[in-house]
Amino acid sequence: MNRFVALVLVVMLAPALAVAGPAEDKGLEIAKEADRRDTGFGDTTADMIMTLRNKRGQESKREIEIRTLEVKGDGDKSLTVFHSPRDVRGTALLTYSHGVKPDDQWLYLPALRRVKRIASNNKSGPFMGSEFAYEDLSSQEVEKYKYKYIKDDEVEGVACFLIERYPVDKDSGYTRQQVWIDKDEYRARKIDYYDRKGQLLKTFTPTEYEKFLGKYWRAHKMVMVNHQNGKSTELIWSNFKFKSGLKDSDFTRTRLTQVL
């Protein structure tokens, strides 16, 4: 009898074990640890210069300001404000991210003074014509992916865990991502993105990490190279500020029209 129950349990649990094997557990643990180390930042603001480069080396720049509010028990709230190109000056995007549930997003168009709720299933679309998709820049919650630990590896001499993560969202443009996370501080060192056909699409490389408030690491430079179209996008971050006392009332549709 006891043996029979044990057998039934083994049969029933076998598929679950296959999904959550040791490699999966370790992958998830690494992702959780990285997330744990970045919680408690409260709020941040930063400026970013986004440079788009095409195959011929032609450049186009965007100046963007990002404010983020950490929300306990839910995804972060963020406000993205455009300063250039000048035809989109003052355009702002308010996002309430909700992990695996659809985000709420409002776009403010200053010329018409119009706040527009926009569809939130545009995950894989390019952000402002860049090589970054909306999902690459959105709040990275642990539950947005399933994980698998692959091996220990190195990125430019830094010891890393190599894990794979698989987007849960059906609207994601990726089948999998390979993420190199350094063992010292659990910072992403490199991400390879594989498209819906399983082909290598893009490589993301964050560098020039700096520690803030003695705890939170932020990269000052990020490069996304698209291997399929030869284009790349570089982000230069500056003016990081933490815990400047932003509140829920700074992330409302009303404030969206007053963000500059």
Note whether 220 binds other proteins by CB under 8 A: yes
Phi, psi dihedrals of residue 230, rounded to the nearest 5°: 75, 5
Note whether 112 binds other proteins by CB under 8 A: yes
In angstroms, give the least distance from the CB of 60 to other proteins.
5
Give the residue, chosen from 121, 143, 154, 183, that forms a contact with other proteins under the rule CB under 8 A: 121
- Measured CA to CA, the distance from residue 3 to residue 117 in angstroms comes to 58
Nearer to other proteins, 15 or 245 (CB): 245
Note whether 142 binds other proteins by CB under 8 A: no
Nearer to other proteins, 20 or 122 (CB): 122
DSSP string, 157-217: TEEEEEEEEEE--TT-SEEEEEEEEETTT--EEEEEEEETTS-EEEEEEEEEEEEETTTEE
> What does the DSSP 8-state code read for residue 76?
P
Return the amino acid letter for 225: V
Note whether 120 binds other proteins by CB under 8 A: yes
How far from chain centre, in Å, is Cα 155? 20
Nearer to other proteins, 182 or 192 (CB): 182
Note whether 44 binds other proteins by CB under 8 A: no
Note whether 254 binds other proteins by CB under 8 A: yes
Give the residue, chosen from 26, 37, 89, 227, that forms a contact with other proteins under the rule CB under 8 A: 89
Give the residue, chosen from 40, 207, 228, 230, that forms a contact with other proteins under the rule CB under 8 A: 207
In angstroms, give the least distance from the CB of 182 to other proteins.
11
- Measured CA to CA, the distance from residue 171 to residue 192 in angstroms comes to 18
Beta strands 114-118 and 77-84: pairing type?
unpaired
Place of tokens 């990020």: 222
**CA triple 203-207-211, angle to 5 deg:** 135
Nearer to other proteins, 28 or 48 (CB): 48
Interface residues with other proteins (CB under 8 A)?
A: 47, 52, 54, 60-61, 63, 65, 83-89, 102, 104, 112-122, 124-126, 128-129, 171, 173, 207-214, 220-221, 236, 238-240, 247-249, 252-255, 258, 260
